[in-house]
Amino acid sequence: QKDLHYVPGHNGMVHLFEWKWGKIAEECENFLGPMGFGGVQVSPIQENVIIKNRPWWERYQPISYKWATRSGTAKEFKDMVRRCNNAGVRIYVDVVFNHMTGNHKNAKGTGGSTADTQNFNYPGVPYSGFDFHVSCPINNYQDAGNVRNCELSGLHDLDQSKEYVREKIVNFLNKIIDVGVAGYRVDAAKHMWPEDLKVIYSRVKNLNPEHNFPSGARPYVFQEVIDYGGEAISKYEYNSFGAVTEFRYGIELSNALNGKNQLKWFSNWGEAWGLLPSQDAVVFIDNHDTQRGHPEILTYKSSKKYKAMILQMAVAFMLAHPYGTARIMSSFAFDSFDANPPQDSIGNLISPTINSDKTCGNGWICEHRWRQVYNMVRFRIAANNTDVNNWWDNGQNQIAFSRGNAGFIAINGDGHDFKQHLYTSLQPGIYCDVISGNLENNVCTGKTVTVDQNGKAYIEILANEEDGVLAIHRQSKL
Ligand code: LM2
Ligand code: CA
């Protein structure tokens, strides 16, 4: 359950937060497939309660397991999965089954279901009071029972030890597997008992071989467990039977690029830092929650604020480094925590438009369409199955390393110029730096790097350059 089943030659997952199914299908065909992306994490597919002003977080309040949300219908979802699989891009669904909704008067869902939330009645499933834990607030993260049996921000907490509840969840998961998804993200996994989750996952079907999965293939499971240390519940309770989101990854890198640590220490980045085993870890710089609630974490807003493009630097490091399953956050612009995704006056989502330079319009950030990001996805593909070699640093925040003889990256996190002759391990030749430009029809629109007969090259990243990164790889050779 830790194999992503990426199509060979593909890598990197992108979270297309709040995108519509039809638009994701187009994105798979026009951009993600051709660029070699491995997969997409999609927003929850299950029907949610409608909340005034339509904040993004209404989608984390399920009212039934019908496939009806602002992203689209069941038919559109099926069509998307088929088209993305055909484009070589896998789909991973964000599934919410720790809880249902909080309390709402006259709760109505995006698929027409209703619920008597005060009385724990959800006829759309159906669930009733028996299926939930007795209501209590989560208020003590030193107590695993409190965290798992009480309500997370007032959201009615399902009891996954009940056979009836397990059956509803497994049926829901089996149906998404039937249409060809490759796996799922388990929302709020920390708030459920590992033993219950293990049983639920084990009952889910193998992947559907009609969508080019090998026979007997298990769904990829990645569980949302926020573990910064110091609480009763640990990420190590979950990683034996599925992958886990590694929240320390983004914090450590953000700290370093914010000047609170030095990049030179990343020479042994990985398990030695107390991170999960690489295979078990989904890694990311920011996600849809941390970009709203954690000022210390780099987000698309950081790049605007400091004009230093430090989010790109962090994402470039992540994609260049072999540790973990890399996930890229793709956002819409927002000013406040509650802000809704781009929508019209009656609450329909407004999809991104695509500009001629590949970036997005209509209020969408689309980090995955930034040159520095999609070109590093291609770097990651080129460097697949190689290690970090030839680590170099200046004793501070200028670092460089190669990936076998497939790729080489240099990062300037210092306020002064980076000017070094370094061993790249690449074949002699002229390479296009894929951070400052693109290689198009054998013409490099950015900086070039000349690797000599000994594999060495002069690497320059000036302090006043827009990007603090330089990256070359075997497919960026002129
Ligand atoms: C997650 N991962 O484990 C999601 O990544 C996160 O985005 C979800 O919270 C959370 N778990 C529950 O699925 C979001 C949002 C919350 C929001 C909930 C439910 O971050 O703020 O809570 O979705 O919509 C909202 C209100 C909160 C209120 C609650 C219940 O913000 O103030 O609490 O609804 O009505 C009284
Ligand atoms: Ca729970």
**Mean pLDDT for the stretch of residues 127-144:** 98
Q: Which pLDDT value is given to residue 304?
A: 46
* Cβ atoms within 10 Å of 438's Cβ, excluding its own: 17
What is the tens place of the pLDDT at every residue in 443-462?
999 999 999 999 999 999 99
- Tell me how far apart the alpha carbons of residues 395 and 393 are, in angstroms, rounded to a whole number: 5
- Residue pair 239/201 in contact by the 8 Å Cβ criterion: no
| One-letter amino acid of 61 | Q
Q: Nearest bound ligand to CA 158? A: 2
Determine whether 335 is an active site residue: no
pLDDT band at 42 (very low <50, low <70, confident <90, very high): very high
Q: From the candidates 18, 58, 187, 196, give the one annotated as an active-site residue.
A: 187
What is the tens place of the pLDDT at every residue in 242-267?
999 999 999 999 999 988 999 999 99
What is the tens place of the pLDDT at every residue in 12-23?
999 999 999 999
- Tell me how far apart the alpha carbons of residues 33 and 37 are, in angstroms, rounded to a whole number: 6
Determine whether 187 is an active site residue: yes
Q: Regarding beta strands 353-354 and 360-361, do their DSSP bridges make them parallel or antiparallel, or are they unpaired?
A: antiparallel
- Which tokens hold the place of 59? 């989608």
- Ligand 1 site, residue 455, Cβ cutoff 6 A: no
Share of the chain above pLDDT 90, in %: 94
Residue owning tokens 């499933």? 125
- Nearest CA among 22, 5, 100 for reference residue 62: 100
Q: Nearest bound ligand to CA 193? A: 2
DSSP calls for 108-148:
EBTTS-EEBGGGTBBTTTTB-GGGBPPP-B---TT-HHHHH
- Ligand 1 site, residue 55, Cβ cutoff 6 A: no
Residue owning tokens 């590992």? 194
Instruction: Tell the burial category of 339 from Cβ atoms under 10 Å away from its Cβ (0-12, 13-18, 19+).
Output: middle
Q: Which pLDDT value is given to residue 307?
A: 41
